[in-house]
Amino acid sequence: MSDLDLNLLVALDALLREQSVSAAARRLGLSTSAMSRTLSRLRTALGDPILVPAGRGMVATPHALAIGAEVHLLKEAVQAVLSPPSTVEIREVRRHFTIRANEAFVLLYAAGLSAAVTNAAPGIRLRFAPRSDKDVQALRDAAIDLDIGVLPRDSGELRCQTLFEDRYVGLARVGHPIFDADRLTAERYAAWGHVLFSMHEDFAGPIDRALAELGHVRDVRLIVPSFPAVIAVAAASDLIGSIPKSYCKSAAISHIKTFDLPVAVPGFNIVQAWHPRMDADPVHRWLRALIFETFHSMN
């Protein structure tokens, strides 16, 4: 039976259920001659005639009758395994998902997202992992299920969905002298002491590149590991900072004032990224849709 493939299994089930070559052929959308050749292969593989003439029709052999029910169940099981994932009753699901996101995202959106998940699927638990890097290997290894943030550069194989567009704005404490002038120039902006977020020693980013084109360099006095830390430091000192505009929803923003940057800095997309193997997973697909809806309702 080493030559018995899945197509033969489907054909065998049709032949045993119809007990007719022509009817089995119609059932599977094949020609009668093609089904006759398949029956010949099955007879060789099983060492049994399977169907034999009886008057104007055919009848199954005792061996064929004995295996008929098992063949049908096996065919159904194989088709279930090889079929696309079906819809699920989301309230009955018991799973947990790990989402990699930075601290600011967790502060702004985790509570709302958790409430939405709990309301629709109380058996689903979310875990947020720190976005200490943008390495896509964690998605490949299934260490995380989703990565939310700016798209990694080496993410060609990943599936991505844009959640929203963002841009940088400047910030300083309320009453800061930077707001005294009617117009903030790039030179004056660069000259103030800056606090900025960076996870790496090389902290130069799009703002620095835009300033460099005008011949200016930021006076960076302090580097912190998160945007919430930038907000906290700016609120309590004379240092100025820059954050994504979306973070202006933070409660701490009441202690500071934001301003448009005096240089042209490209905007960027915040995306949710996942590995292609999770594309068709119905629960993962549901979670992605919920995250997208939650972002749009909150933005």
Residue 283 and residue 138 share a domain: yes
Q: Measured between alpha carbons, how far is 153 from 147 in angstroms, rounded to an integer?
A: 13
Q: Same structural domain for residues 44 and 133?
A: no
What's the pLDDT score for residue 136? Answer: 80
CB 218 within 8 A of CB 207: yes
Domain check: are 246 and 181 in the same one?
Answer: yes
pLDDT in tens, 57-94: 899 999 999 998 899 888 888 877 776 666 689 999 99
Do the Cβ atoms of 80 and 92 come closer than 8 Å? no
188 and 246 share one domain = yes
H or E stretch at 172:
strand 168-173
Residues ≥6 apart with Cβ < 8 Å to 61: 48, 49, 50, 51, 52
Tens digits of residue pLDDT in 119-142: 999 999 999 998 776 778 888 888
CB distance 101 to 294 below 8 Å: no
Residue 56 lies in a domain: yes
CATH number at residue 254: 3.40.190.10
Section 40-50 average pLDDT: 92
Q: Looking at the predicted structure, is the pLDDT value of residue 197 above 70? A: yes
Q: Name the domain count of the chain.
A: 3
| 254 lies in the same domain as 292 | no
d(C-alpha 232, C-alpha 251), whole Å: 11
Mean pLDDT, the chain, whole residue set = 88
List the beta strands (DSSP E) in 29-123: 51-54, 57-60, 95-101
| Interatomic CA distance for residues 13 and 79, integer angstroms | 12
**Of 59, 82, 105, at which residue does a domain stop?**
82
Closest to 226 in 3D by CA, of 112, 104, 109: 104
Q: How far is CA 4 from the centre of its chain?
A: 38
> Are both 74 and 128 inside the same structural domain?
no
Domain range enclosing 21: 6-82
Cα separation, 126 vs 78, whole angstroms: 33
Q: Does residue 148 sit within a domain?
A: yes
Closest among 268, 267, 271 to 162, alpha carbons compared? 271
**152 or 198, greater pLDDT:** 198
Using 50, 70 and 90 to split pLDDT, how confident is the model at 299?
Answer: low
Q: Is 1 a member of any domain? A: no
The model's pTM is 0.68
